[in-house]
Structure 1
């Protein structure tokens, strides 16, 4: 079914039909530039969360980290990200998306400097928490900013660019770790060089955001209609900006008359509470796939599989490469394949991959020359499945499903819980591997992924092919949860 015409009888279908179609023009280049600048936040997110993968071993030796403090250093960024996600969302509602991203770039820069010059474990934790605040804010605000700026026809692919930049940042961290670790690994403080690289994109993000416009939906929500029309005029074809702005303004005015969507309003409304639970469930399901156990502890997993330290640093680049390839494919699919189908395929594949990793580590004992290469291949297959079918789709869906007046709150709350799940996994994963090994860990992940598959099939509605205003009508009326509407693709 063509997404341009929508589902017959779907809520708000007339909103789409009233808009002039997208046509080629210079606005597309402008959209691309704005997305590139904003997604430097995603690049910083990816680099900062993954650089620890290679920096941890030399850092442990220099700072005298134990198994417990190793987990604390890794997870302190993630607990900071949980706070940053929910506070960044609320701040962006008050200050605006653009100003919040500017502030976030400053936290990226300051946190990196504290980590680079940290003389002891305690200072390192402070620096990692500062970085976490920035990472959490980036994970909330940047996808919302892109979704609110994008035309609905290409919202999936434009919003998904942030996830693409996250995996580019992860790959960059793996490459930097491999080069720095193998070239200067015998020198003290090599991990400080790995951590210092991130200051460059932090400066680029700050300078770039000075020239980027504010979200037109935020502007309209705060009474700046003419400014919003001017912004839309830069990123829409001729003749569409004012029509779209009036649609947004009409729905925003109607929504503001109904209720002020603070947390009490959300929790007291049946449909808003349900969509919030969907967002939280998606975030937790994404984290409990175990993807970040690979991104944070990939080198340790590969060493346990049988690679030596130098080779583990090198082959650890492979998951980063496949992550970028998978994210690129996901962007190509995002505007043509329904979100629900993408989730169902993704969780099915990750469940199978986890089972195969567990079986492979069970039947190939330590010392078997095939063991490290089989596990590496299966890890790469898992990361590819995750990036192609889940990561981009989850972040795009979280940026779409919430009504405007609860979007930052809903996104912030969902990502807050997402980061908490991530943080506890990061904190306890080394202990878990020591206790039950790769086999037990990945069999456990397989069980969780199977539960996530059931959740997606029964609870998550379809969002592709609808304007944000149309989705807002469907959510606030509860019609988005009707089976016919939920399955719309």
Structure 2
């Protein structure tokens, strides 16, 4: 059929219909973007609540306020991640019972209440407890937000939408650094200004609470509990046509039927060599990500800069550059993910972080009396964050999502996430203790050692998953391959 014939066949009524469908498509896409933005406020809160302590801890530890010992300083800082370890484990099963949207709504309430309690705490013990309870919401959001995003997205945009949460986390940390710098520089003479820094987290918490009234429940969860009509209603606003909605519901039903026929792995299955090996690799990836040292920068960036010679107010401002580098590096890393082999990207990142930490140790030892030391340290921390956020952080979460087969995903992700968060807690707790005991040079040398061990682990055990189906990845682990899988563990 020629173009002329086609024009003659299409009646004015058909043209109007096509225009209407195009308009509807645009409206559906806009609605989906709005839903993704609202739900990733959970990721933003994650970033704000883990980043705000960076500037607040100096005020909290002062004799005029809570007069923290190095040990208590570590507990105040990292207590949130200890709570997150348990929140991450509990959230998945709880969301299956009450729904993704409802759990996010409850988490927004927890974020708000415990942020207020943290901001008004009168003793170190109370602040440690409230930070740990706030961590339950942080850990829950870290699991539920990506799950919800994956379930409302279409396959062609799923990767971009889900990784938006990672971007929101580093954006939240940057926002916290900016607020810390603003409050610290204008009201730094008020020792209790840390309470306002922490209280800032109530704003995104309130936004998440209100936003929950504007987004639908996960269609997949609705089908899972037999509410097909509500699932159709939820999809109608984020898909182009009714036919698309009905087709997707049918696909969800088929997938759920197949999943119900698969026996889910339990702790007893760890007796199987290839399953045990896979779970241990997942644990290793999580521990490796944290022991590389990212959270000594996220939690103690201001402290490190002060130790190197910055005044407190200057350190708060300089730390903003760390946040900018983290955000930009995350965006760049997301664009590399599907074009560069995972192992190559991961090991390149670890080489970069190792060099960065070694340089901090060297300059702190050799330039201790030089005015160039503060500049050298901020450049090294920015280099570290660029390599970590661009090459390591997104890749570890991606590998964890890829290496576990469907029947092992719940067990594997639960155990790996717990160890990841617990390692986060250990790093956050021991860093100020080490800094007080052995100084900056030797503390960073210890983390150089952890980086070297991490490189060895990545080289020996990290699998290559780019361009492979989930089924092929499972077969390689089960029956052995040349990608770091021992053929003896069949």
Q: TM-score normalised by the shorter chain: which range applies?
A: 0.7 to 0.9
CA distance in structure 1 between the aligned counterparts of 2:397 and 2:146, rounded to whole angstroms = 7
User: Could you state the TM-score of these two structures normalised by the residue count of structure 2?
Assistant: 0.85
Alpha-carbon offset, residue 51 of structure 1: 1.0
Q: Does 1:173 align with 2:162?
A: no
| Aligned residues between the structures | 459
1:127 matched to which residue of 2?
130
CA distance in structure 2 between the aligned counterparts of 1:41 and 1:245, rounded to whole angstroms = 27
1:254 matched to which residue of 2?
258
User: Could you state the TM-score of these two structures normalised by the residue count of structure 1?
Assistant: 0.85
| 1:186 aligned residue (185, 189, 196) | 189
CA distance in structure 1 between the aligned counterparts of 2:129 and 2:449, rounded to whole angstroms = 35
1:38 matched to which residue of 2?
39
Contact 2:292 2:447 in 1 (8 A): yes
Contact 1:78 1:419 in 2 (8 A): yes
Stretches of structure 2 that go unaligned for 5 or more consecutive residues are 1-24, 486-490
Structure 1 residues 299 and 327, CA, compared in 2 at 3 Å: closer, same or farther?
same
1:52 matched to which residue of 2?
53
Structure 1 residues 93 and 451, CA, compared in 2 at 3 Å: closer, same or farther?
farther
Deviations 1:190-238 (A, max 9, x none): 1111111110110111221233233344444444556556545554555
Alpha-carbon offset, residue 403 of structure 1: 4.4
2:313 matched to which residue of 1?
310
CA distance in structure 2 between the aligned counterparts of 1:205 and 1:331, rounded to whole angstroms = 25
CA distance in structure 2 between the aligned counterparts of 1:370 and 1:196, rounded to whole angstroms = 35
What does 1:192-341 align with in structure 2 at a 5 Å threshold?
A: 192-224=195-227, 227-228=230-231, 231=234, 234-236=237-239, 241-243=245-247, 245-261=249-265, 263-264=266-267, 266-268=269-271, 270-341=273-344
Alpha-carbon offset, residue 429 of structure 1: 0.5
Alpha-carbon offset, residue 60 of structure 1: 1.9
CA RMSD of aligned residues (A): 2.9
CA distance in structure 2 between the aligned counterparts of 1:39 and 1:254, rounded to whole angstroms = 30
Stretches of structure 1 that go unaligned for 5 or more consecutive residues are 1-23
CA distance in structure 2 between the aligned counterparts of 1:475 and 1:72, rounded to whole angstroms = 39
| 2:139 aligned residue (118, 136, 140) | 136
Structure 1 residues 435 and 268, CA, compared in 2 at 3 Å: closer, same or farther?
same
Deviations 1:404-460 (A, max 9, x none): 565454333322111110111111111112233322232332332233234334433
2:388 matched to which residue of 1?
386
Alpha-carbon offset, residue 301 of structure 1: 0.9
Moved more, 38-47 or 244-253: 244-253
CA distance in structure 2 between the aligned counterparts of 1:217 and 1:445, rounded to whole angstroms = 43
Higher Cα radius of gyration: 2
CA distance in structure 1 between the aligned counterparts of 2:218 and 2:446, rounded to whole angstroms = 42
CA distance in structure 1 between the aligned counterparts of 2:250 and 2:274, rounded to whole angstroms = 26
Moved more, 449-458 or 56-65: 449-458
Contact 1:147 1:399 in 2 (8 A): no
1:425 matched to which residue of 2?
427
CA distance in structure 2 between the aligned counterparts of 1:119 and 1:247, rounded to whole angstroms = 54
Alpha-carbon offset, residue 185 of structure 1: 1.3
Q: Does 1:28 align with 2:32?
A: no
Structure 1 residues 271 and 148, CA, compared in 2 at 3 Å: closer, same or farther?
farther
CA distance in structure 2 between the aligned counterparts of 1:81 and 1:210, rounded to whole angstroms = 25
